[in-house]
Amino acid sequence: MAAETSTFVTYELTGKVAHIGLNRPEKRNAMNDRFVEMLADAIARAESEAKAVVLFGHGEHFCAGLDLAEHVEKTPFEGVRGSRRWHAVTAGMQHGTIPWVSALHGGIIGGGMELAAATHIRVADRSAFFALPEGQRGIFVGGGGSVRIARLLGVARMSDMMLTGRVISPDDAERWNLVQYVVETGTARDHAHKLAETMATNAEISNYAIINALPRIQDMAKEDGLFVESFIASFTATSPEAEERLRAFLDKRVARIKAPDAE
C-alpha cells in the first residue's frame, strides 16, 4: 500500500507491518497538540489492520520533543491536560494489542525519548544522539518519561541527563538499556522492519501477553507477580493457536533453535 500523508504523520502498510512516520522535518519532528492527535489516529488504524508497527522520523532526526513555541503559551491546567493526553496516546502504543519497534536516527531529544520509550523495542543507527535538556529549559518531562525512561535507564542516569544536559551516543544508549540494537547509519528502519516482521508471525495472544503482562508484573511485589505469571502462562498455553504451534514443534514441522553464527 502506498504511503499516505496527514500533514504531520505518514502511514504505510507493508504486509502485516505498519510504518508510522513523524513528518515535520523542518521542525526536527517537534510535536504539538495537533501532531499528537494525528499520531493517535495512526495508532488506532494500525491496531485495526496491522500485526506490528515501525515508528520512525522523516528527515534528519527522529524527534526533537515538544514544540516549545506552543508549550510556553499554555496555562498550567492546559499543560496538565496536554500531558495527560500524551499519556493516553502513548499508552495506546505501549499497552495496545500489537508490538511497536522504533527506528531511531539523528536527535532523540526530550519528548522524542519519551515517545521512543513507549515502544517495545528500540533500534538506533550510529547517527543517533539522545538528550533530556529539561533542566536547561526550566521544564520537566511530561510525556511519560519519569515512568518509562526512568525504568529503562534507572533514576540516577536519567537525573544525570536532565540535570547536566548530557548527550549520549548510541553505544551509551545500548549500554544503559535505552536501546536494544545499534546498527549502521541509515539502516535503522530496515532493521526495525525485519524485527517487526518476525513479531508479526508470533501468536497474537503471546504478543499481547508479553507487551501487557511483563510491564505490569514489574510493578508488582515478587509473589504477586509470580501468581499473575501462572495465570498468564496457563491462559496463553491453552489457546487453540498455542496448541497448534506446540504440536508443530513436537512433530518437527518447525525448525529448532540453533546457536547464532560465530562472530
pLDDT per residue as tens digits for the range 132-158 = 999 888 889 999 999 999 999 999 999
Per-residue pLDDT tens digits for 154-176? 999 999 999 999 999 999 999 99
The residue among 101, 158, 109, 149 whose CA lies nearest residue 129 is 109
Q: Which one is catalytic: 47, 49, 78, 134?
A: 134
For 65, residues 6+ apart whose C-beta sits below 8 A from its C-beta are: 30, 31, 109, 110, 111, 112, 113, 114
Question: What pairing do the DSSP bridges indicate for beta strands 129-131 and 167-168?
Answer: antiparallel
The residue among 38, 37, 34 whose CA lies nearest residue 6 is 38
Lowest mean pLDDT: which of 187-191, 211-215, 236-240? 236-240
Q: Which one is catalytic: 49, 114, 174, 184?
A: 114
pLDDT at 68: 76
Catalytic (active site) residue 4: no
Catalytic (active site) residue 134: yes
